[in-house]
Structure 1
Amino acid sequence: MSGPAPAPDQPVQISAADARQFRYYDLVMAAFVAILLLSNIIGASKPSYIPLPGGGEWAFAAGVMFFPVSYIIGDILTEVYGYARARRVIWTGFAALAFMAFMAWVVVSLPPAKGWPGQESYEFVFGNSWRIVIASMLAFWAGEFANSYVLARMKLWTQGRHLWMRTIGSTIVGQGLDSLIFYPLAFYGLVGWPPEQLMQVALSQWLIKTLWEALLTPATYMVVTTLKRREGVDVFDDKTDFTPFQAHL
């Protein structure tokens, strides 16, 4: 898809199939994978809380503060570089999560040296059950692809207008799928997780992640505008094969 002749400092609207080399694509990919892994390693195991009026507490997973940033970067990838290149990044992140889970399992399973006191702590932090690992990976895969697909389709429908509507709308769908898949798969039927509490936690996490996206919209606008200008493109997925089951462009 091509637009009218651009001003000298404006990005050129092109089809995803016509785009080739980019200056910052690999850096955005690295940021996406880094935040994805760090939010799963550092934030996933720690619950925190917000004090409520009357002395109550509202608990939440600490990782929810940073994991939504991966969705924001996913929005930036799709908006600037197109769905096909975002798809490559999502598969890269999925492979990185799989390797992280395998590495954690190997390291935790190895017998500790005699006298080393850290094995119990290692098991507590990194010894997630395979049920939680699989639930996390499936939720990430489905949520990220839904997020990218909805944003790319909405960009075509709106002819590139209303970026805020596309980023928030795609996040509502993507984060909703992520929460809906992860919590039931990871915790349904376990002691201490009655169904009503499970759905309450899933809903609250969905709302928090979507709110983060909305609050960071100005930053998303700034990054998208800067990247489009410096890359000199504005990719539209009018000729893209939207199947998630491939990694080539």
Structure 2
Amino acid sequence: MDTTTTVSPLRLLDDRATRLFVALAAFFCANAVLAEFIGVKIFALEDTLGIAPLEWNLFGQTGSLNFTAGTLLWPIVFIMTDTVNEYFGKRGVRMISWLAAGLIVYSFVFAYLAIHLAPASWWVGAAKDQGVPDYQTAYAAIFGQGMWIIVGSLVAFLVGQLIDVQVFHRIRARTGERHAWLRATGSTAVSQLVDSFVVLYIAFVLGPQQWPTSLFLAVGSLNYVYKMLAAIALIPLLYLMRAGIHRYLGATRAAQLRQHASED
């Protein structure tokens, strides 16, 4: 006798935990893809804050605090990763990580195709009055990131996410349901130590620019410190999200998800 039961797709979407996962996954992927595309811009932190340049000196290298604009979004990605980890476990994080990586590749493929479409002659010079003499060249420069940078960011992203999920659950196994800030910050500390250096190594050491070791270590260290400070600053947001999720799911359902996630 066949005892298999089927669940209506509409009934499945009525489940609040399912809707929560879909919303978290969508927001995670949107932030990850957007961070890749806006990351082509390098901004000066001191000028942005209106303060005097802080001349750092690390490993024999000096400079001001310049970061990729993608750093605005990566701390949000960390928070989303830890939230999915908390309620949906390792499988949930792996799923959204591979999904985000696939969407990043998909986006770059179509950006590449868009760059190579023949531009309309009138459009090329349409922004001359705004100081952009060749729209096509500007478009290609912004959306056509180098292959080494794309590969480096993708590999670093996936490696960082997979490390994050393992460290998160190791800390959780020791602390139980206490100290959510510790497992979130601890997992970020380890995963981003790897991420910060892997992306630079692939993109700028192995790549055509061939950075010297001192520059690689200096820039990697600065990026890591920035990410950790941002992750610590966002700890209150982590707790706000937890409170909102508990209110949305109800205390009993939230506890069930967290218990299943810890056993994953």
Q: TM-score, normalised by structure 2?
A: 0.77
Aligned match for 1:217, one of 232, 235, 247: 235
- Could you say which residue in structure 1 is the equivalent of 2:71? 64
The structure in which a higher percent of residues are helix is 2
Partner of 2:211: 193
- Tell me what 1:143 maps to: 160
For residue 33 of structure 1, the aligned residue among 29, 32, 46 is 29
Q: Does 2:248 align with 1:230?
A: yes
2:170 to 134, 147, 153: 153
Partner residue of 2:224?
206
How far is the alpha carbon of 1:142 from its aligned partner? 0.7
Are the aligned partners of 2:67 and 2:223 in contact in 1 as well (CA < 8 Å)? yes
CA 1:216–1:222 in structure 2 vs 1: closer, same or farther (change >3 Å)?
A: same
Q: What is the aligned-residue RMSD (CA, Å)?
A: 2.2
CA 1:238–1:92 in structure 2 vs 1: closer, same or farther (change >3 Å)?
same
Letter of the 1:112 counterpart: P
Structure number with the bigger relative contact order (C-alpha 8 A, sep ≥ 6) is 1
Q: Give the structure-1-normalised TM-score.
A: 0.81
* Structure possessing the higher radius of gyration over alpha carbons: 2
Deviation at 1:192, TM superposition (A): 7.6
What is the CA distance between 1:123 and its match in structure 2?
1.1
Q: Contact 2:31 / 2:76 at 8 angstroms: preserved in 1?
A: yes
Relative to structure 1, is the Cα distance of residues 194 and 23 closer, same or farther in structure 2, using a 3 angstrom cutoff? same
Code of the aligned partner of 1:33: C
SS at match of 2:65: strand
Residues 172-225 of structure 1, C-alpha deviations (whole Å, 9 max, x = no match) = 111111112100100115448332112111111111111111111011012123
Measured in 2, the distance between the counterparts of 1:164 and 1:174 equals: 15
Percent of residue pairs bearing the same amino acid type? 26
State the Cα deviation string for residues 16-36 of structure 1 (Å, max 9, x = none).
xxx995331111111101111
User: Partner letter of residue 45 of structure 1?
Assistant: V
CA contact (8 A) 2:204 2:210 kept: no
CA contact (8 A) 2:42 2:69 kept: yes
Query: Which residue does the alignment assign to 1:183?
Result: 200
- Structure 1 residues 53, 195: CA separation in 2 closer, same or farther (over 3 Å shift)? closer
Matched AA of 1:48: F
Partner of 1:13: none
8 Å CA contact 1:79, 1:224 repeated in 2: no
SS of alignment partner, residue 121 of structure 2:
coil
1:80–1:224 contact (8 Å) kept in structure 2: no
Is residue 135–residue 186 contact of structure 1 (8 Å, CA) maintained in 2? Answer: yes
What's the secondary structure of 2:203's corresponding residue? helix
Partner SS for 1:45: coil
Which residue number corresponds to residue 86 of structure 1? Answer: 93
Residue aligned with 1:70, SS: helix
Q: Gaps spanning 5+ residues in structure 1: where?
A: 1-18, 241-249
In the TM superposition, residue 68 of structure 1 has moved relative to its aligned partner by 1.8
| Distance (whole Å) between structure 1 residues aligned to residue 20 and residue 176 of structure 2 | 24
What is the alpha-carbon distance in structure 2 between the residues aligned to residue 61 and residue 98 of structure 1? 19
Distance of 1:205 and 1:175 partners within structure 2: 9
Count of equivalent residues: 221
Task: Output the amino acid matched with 2:40.
Answer: S
Q: Distance between the aligned counterparts of 2:147 and 2:68, measured in 1?
A: 19
Partners of 2:102 and 2:209 in 1: how far apart? 31
Question: Alignment partner for residue 45 of structure 1, among 29, 40, 45?
Answer: 40
Distance in 2, matches of 1:141 and 1:46, equals: 22
